[in-house]
Structure formats: C-alpha cells, structure tokens
Structure 1
Amino acid sequence: MKKLLAMLLASLMLLSLAACGGDTQTDAGKDPPPAAGGEPQAAEATWPERPIEIVIPYGAGGDTDFNARAYVEGLSKELGVSVAASNVTGSGGSIASRQVKDAAPDGYSVLFFHSAINVNEVIGVADFGVQDFKLSSIVAKSPGEIIAVRADSGFQTLEDMFNYSKEHPGQLKIGMDTGTMVHVQSLMLQKAGFDISLVDVGGASDRVAALAGGHIDCIINAYGTIKDYLEKGEFVALAQTNGERSAGFPDIPTAAEQGYDLTLEKHYFFAFPKDTPQEIVDKFAAACEKISGEQDYADSIMESFRQEPFFASAADGMGYMDAFKTVVESFVSELTAS
C-alpha cells in the first residue's frame, strides 16, 4: 500500500512540472519559435521582384530616348528583372514627370530626364521640380548641342550667321520646342545679338525634318540626331554649346571660343518618386555606375551620339541641376511670354 501511494505521489509531481514547464520557459525570457517561413523582409530588401518601367518624357529618336535605352539592357542584366522603356510625351516632359512623381514609391517606376526639367518648373508648366523626386544619379552628359544650318545657307561660322541676321533682321528662323532646353538656347542666341525669329516646330526629329525641308534656317540639336546630314554634307555644324570641345567631334568649335556666350550643358538622370526607400535608389544607382564603366556601353554612345561615359552621384547631380536652373531663371520673362 505504501509503495502504491509513493508511486501516485511521484506521478502527480511529474504532471505538475509538465503543466507549468511552458510558463517557466516564457518567464525566463525565451522567445517562442519563429513562424513558418521566417520573419517577413522589408520590400527594399527583396527589390526588384517584378518588371521596372523607365519613363521617357520625349518621343523616340531623340537624344533623351537614346540615352535612356542605352541603359535598359544593362539594367535588366544587373537587376535580374525585365526593364522596359516607355515614351510618354507632352508638355515639355511634364506629363511623364508627373506620372512618375505620383507613382507608388516602390521602385518600379523610374523617370529618365535631363536638365530641362528645370525649364518646366520655372515657366510654370509644372508645379514641381527635380527636388520633388529622389534623384538616383547623373548617368550621362551631352557632348554639346550642335548649332546647325543647311549647307545651302553659305554659313561656315557663327559670325557668318550673326552678320547675316543683322543685315536681314528677323528673317532667319530657328526651330525650337517651347518650354524646353532648346527654347532657352534659342533665347541665348538672341541675347548674344543674333536677330533671329523663334519658331516652334516640335521635338528633335521634327526640328531636323523642318531644317532639311527648308521650313527653318537653324536648329540646335544633339549630334546624334543630325550626324547623317553632317556626314552627307547637307548640314553644316557652326558650333557646339558645351564649355569645351567634345572628344566626339573635336573639329567643331564651341560657341564660346567664337566669342558668343551660348554655353549650356545638359545632364541626364534617373529619379524615383520622393518616398522611395533609399536602399532601392542606391541599388539602382550602383547598377548604373557599373554599366557606365563598361566598354560596350562606351563604344555604343560614342558611335551613336559621340558621347563619352559620365557618372555622378545624386549629391553632385543636384549641383548641376541648380546651376542650370539659374540660367533658366534669367530668361523667365521671355520663356513665359512666348
């Protein structure tokens, strides 16, 4: 009987310990086992997981479209997902810019634009500027816009065109696109003393067609958009607008060295909606920096647009944007009066 009673007491003690064992472990501060699948990761840690859209604010065939697409294949490779470019035109690029600005800040909608975003803000076409995005990086620099005329004009230098404009006030017509960088550059021509009329004929390819067709007398375009006409001898390049001669076309003098203050440099950038996580923006910038250092990329942009690779951080990029904006603001009355 005593032996049976002892066995019963031992069993009760074991049951009591088992019943409170879980509480004892919890009270000791031990965490419960993780849920199946582990802890959820932040979205930026797993980005990208689906296709990314690069939004281009101008039509196909121009320098902006070319520079954006020069990165697309490399970005797909570096980021491991499909990266597609789409052209969203209108209002000097502000429609595309707003589309990205208002997109979900998840890293899947990216704007590719250039310095002219400042023009839209200054003239009031857009109520926002580059500061309303999260700048990723500057990924290209124009080798300089080319001031070009038809060969039958007889002009060989800027001075030739300057003198003709003075002798025939207002007769020369320069093709431009209202509210864009080319508009600013055309105003710079006038400020430099050229008596020339501004005519809105549209984007880069439209300007080339208008000049070739004899509807206007002068354009300011990226080299790549007119190189075929230059090589055939149909157009003559009078000057380039960068501060120094481009390595891609060293035989074309700058406007500055010919005595005309027409220097205005254009930088291209990628930007995300303002609240995009910084980790995503940095990862994208790192992919761009790697691509910009590849020989295939360098060969491609030199062959097509006579460009050299150029990369700058977001911090340095804002400095370029601010300098450009200062120039644009000096023409605000002329830009808004047009």
Structure 2
Amino acid sequence: MSWTLRRRILLAGSLLAVTTSRHALAQAAAWPSQPIRLVVPFAPGGTTDLVARLLAAGLQERLGVSVVVENRAGAGATVGSEMVARAAPDGYTLVMSNIASHGISPSVYRGRIRYDAVADFAHIALVVSNPTVWVANPRAGIRTLADAAAKARGTGGLDVATSGAGSSNHLMVVRMGQLIGTELNHIPFRGAGPAMQAVIAGQVPMMSDSLPSAANHIRQGSVIAVAMASASRHPSFPDVPTFREQGFDLASDSWFGISAPAGTPAPIVERLNLESRAFLSTPEIVARLAELGGTPGDLTAQGYGEFVRREVALWAPLVQASGATPD
C-alpha cells in the first residue's frame, strides 16, 4: 500500500470519527425530546417493578418528558435485557438491570443468552440494594427455618417459589437445600408479583423474595416472615430473625440499577446518573426505600459499570458450585 493511499485511509477514518462524535454531541444536546421507555425484565408487582415505578416518576419530573415502564418478563430477566441490549443507543430505551439479569443469569443461562452483561450495556446508576427474606403462607405451618427443614425432609418435600430461574432467590433455594441435606422444590415464576400471589393463595407454601416486594405483605399479615438473609436483623423488621440466628449460614443482598445499550452517548449517561442520584438522595425517597427495606445507591456511572463487572465475576463460580440450572 502506498503512503498516499495510507494517508487517505487514515484521514477518512479521522473524519468519520469526528463526524460521529459531533453527531453524538448533537444528539445528547437535544436529549430528551421524546418519551423514555424503562424496561422491567420481570412481571409487575415485584421489587424491580416497584423500584422502577418510583424511579420513573422521579426522572419524569426532573427530565420533563414521560418515562414509561414496560414489563418484559422471561428467562431469568434475560428477555427484556436482551431487547434493550439490541435497542438504539439514543437514551430513549433503558432497562432495570439487576442481580438476576446482570449478575447471575449470565452464568445460569450460559450459552443461551445473546448479550454480554458488561460489554453490551452502558451502565448508568445503582438504584437500590436490599436483603432477601423468606416468607410463608400463614396456614402452611412454617414459623421457623426448622419447620421448613422438617417439611422439606418429609414426604413430597417443600415447594419454594421465586421470581424466576437465575435469580439470587433461586440460588438461595439451592443453597438452603444443600444445608438442609435435601433438595428443595424450586418453583420459578415470571416475577415476584405472581410468585407472591401464589403463596398468599396457598398454591405454594413458601417464597424466597427481595424485601421491598414482600414488606407490605408482611406488615398486612398475608404472609409470615420466617427469616431475613442479612448479616443482622433489619431495622424495619426487628422481630424477624436472620438465617444465621436460626443455624443456617446464609446471607444475600439483591441490587437494582438502570442501564442503556452500549454506545449511548456519554453526556446522556452522565445526565441520567446525576438525575437518578439526586432523586434517590431526597429525604422522601430515602424514607420510602427504608420503609421497604432498601438502601439507595450512590455510584457514578463508571462505578456502577465496575460494580456489575465484579458481580458477574463473583457469581460465576458460585453458580457452578450450586449446580443451579434453568428450570
């Protein structure tokens, strides 16, 4: 290749990069000018959906455009996440990234999902984290984990519902079965809302759930809180003993954030991060999340991206050791 031709190729590449950069800046400057879609990769009624609707209302007020929540459940939260990974990177399609879709499912569904939890997303902000709680139908005869273990060892075993395969709650069920010494019957649903309704109706006796989606049901008495998977008793539910207090060395936190397709202009990502963190730091939202048992996040966009990367690396060997599979 001649030097003249090489220079022309390099110049063309430089001009393309400059043009692309200018287009991205212009796009970011005009953003937002239309409604934003916030995809929840679970059915309505669970923690992800609850947090998404709180955040959507806050961002809508701060950005001045509608933020519409859209539920796209299925396959351990990977269906809705994959849809967003393939969407246009223009800041108008976001996803509630979470411990299932962007932490655990990439290992549980290895070879079955068509997105990279790190590379295919521009991670924006950590929204909330919270512990797992196990609840039971009041008529199931389960008041303690010892009761649950006894039923699990009995004829027919013990059915435990979760928001879906690939969730942290799923892994809790697998690990609890290992500690008890008998496999628990994991009953996956397409979200925490449908799973909770099944427990309340008595169709499934027990559930492993994230605290925010279970909190009101516990307070109303429609389910009994059996154990909290936190290091110590939760201040909002001081009467609920931990797993460790009951002799089972288990602790688990769930987390939820927002992400966009990879390639979303950095100014849009930064604006969303700043607006989200500002909203999450308001006294009203801090109090509301505390009431539900959640702790608001406060990471930069870069910090959240690094957080997701660490979670993927953390859960891969744990999934393999647990033997958890899509079911």
Does the 8 A contact of 2:152 with 2:158 survive in 1? yes
Deviation at 1:293, TM superposition (A): 0.9
2:16 alignment counterpart: none
Question: Aligned pair 1:63/2:47, yes or no?
Answer: yes
1:190 alignment counterpart: 177
Does the 8 A contact of 1:112 with 1:269 survive in 2? yes
1:206 and 1:284 map into 2 onto residues whose CA distance is: 31
1:215 alignment counterpart: 203
2:189 and 2:258 map into 1 onto residues whose CA distance is: 27
Deviations 1:58-112 (Å, cap 9, x if unpaired)? 1211110110111112212222222221112222222211121111111111111
AA aligned opposite 2:325: T
Does the 8 A contact of 2:73 with 2:190 survive in 1? no
1:139 alignment counterpart: 127
Does the 8 A contact of 2:270 with 2:301 survive in 1? no
1:284 and 1:337 map into 2 onto residues whose CA distance is: 33
| Partner secondary structure for residue 55 of structure 1 | strand
Does the 8 A contact of 1:243 with 1:265 survive in 2? no
Does the 8 A contact of 1:139 with 1:268 survive in 2? yes
Question: Aligned pair 1:271/2:259, yes or no?
Answer: yes
AA aligned opposite 2:304: G
Question: Aligned pair 1:335/2:307, yes or no?
Answer: no
1:116 alignment counterpart: 100
Worse-matched range after superposition: 185-194 or 281-290:
185-194
1:127 alignment counterpart: 114
1:128 and 1:106 map into 2 onto residues whose CA distance is: 18
2:190 and 2:35 map into 1 onto residues whose CA distance is: 32
Q: Which residue of 28, 53, 73 corresponds with 2:37?
A: 53
TM (normalized to structure 1)?
Answer: 0.79
Mark the CA change 1:211 to 1:48 in structure 2 (over 3 Å): closer, same or farther: same
1:297 alignment counterpart: 285
Does the 8 A contact of 2:136 with 2:206 survive in 1? yes
Does the 8 A contact of 1:187 with 1:331 survive in 2? no
| Partner secondary structure for residue 203 of structure 2 | coil
Q: How many residues align?
A: 297
Segments of 5+ residues of structure 1 without an aligned counterpart are 1-38
Segments of 5+ residues of structure 2 without an aligned counterpart are 1-21
Deviations 1:258-279 (Å, cap 9, x if unpaired)? 3323222111111111111111
AA aligned opposite 1:182: N
Q: Which has the larger radius of gyration?
A: 1
2:197 and 2:61 map into 1 onto residues whose CA distance is: 36
1:323 and 1:292 map into 2 onto residues whose CA distance is: 22
TM (normalized to structure 2)?
Answer: 0.81
Deviation at 1:300, TM superposition (A): 3.0
AA aligned opposite 2:230: N
Deviation at 1:302, TM superposition (A): 3.7
Question: Aligned pair 1:94/2:81, yes or no?
Answer: no
Q: Which residue of 215, 231, 241 corresponds with 1:253?
A: 241
Mark the CA change 1:66 to 1:252 in structure 2 (over 3 Å): closer, same or farther: same
Mark the CA change 1:127 to 1:290 in structure 2 (over 3 Å): closer, same or farther: same
AA aligned opposite 2:91: G
What pairs up with 1:138-217 in 2 under 5 angstroms?
138-142=126-130, 144-166=131-153, 168=154, 170-176=156-162, 177-193=164-180, 195=182, 196-217=184-205
Mark the CA change 1:253 to 1:52 in structure 2 (over 3 Å): closer, same or farther: same
1:12 alignment counterpart: none
AA aligned opposite 1:173: D
AA aligned opposite 1:180: S
Does the 8 A contact of 2:82 with 2:114 survive in 1? no
Question: Aligned pair 1:326/2:326, yes or no?
Answer: no
Q: CA RMSD in A?
A: 2.5
Counting aligned pairs with the same residue, the percent is 24
| Partner secondary structure for residue 77 of structure 2 | helix
Does the 8 A contact of 2:37 with 2:93 survive in 1? yes
2:288 and 2:199 map into 1 onto residues whose CA distance is: 27
Deviation at 1:152, TM superposition (A): 2.9
Does the 8 A contact of 1:113 with 1:268 survive in 2? yes
Does the 8 A contact of 1:170 with 1:197 survive in 2? no
AA aligned opposite 1:218: M
Worse-matched range after superposition: 189-198 or 107-116:
189-198
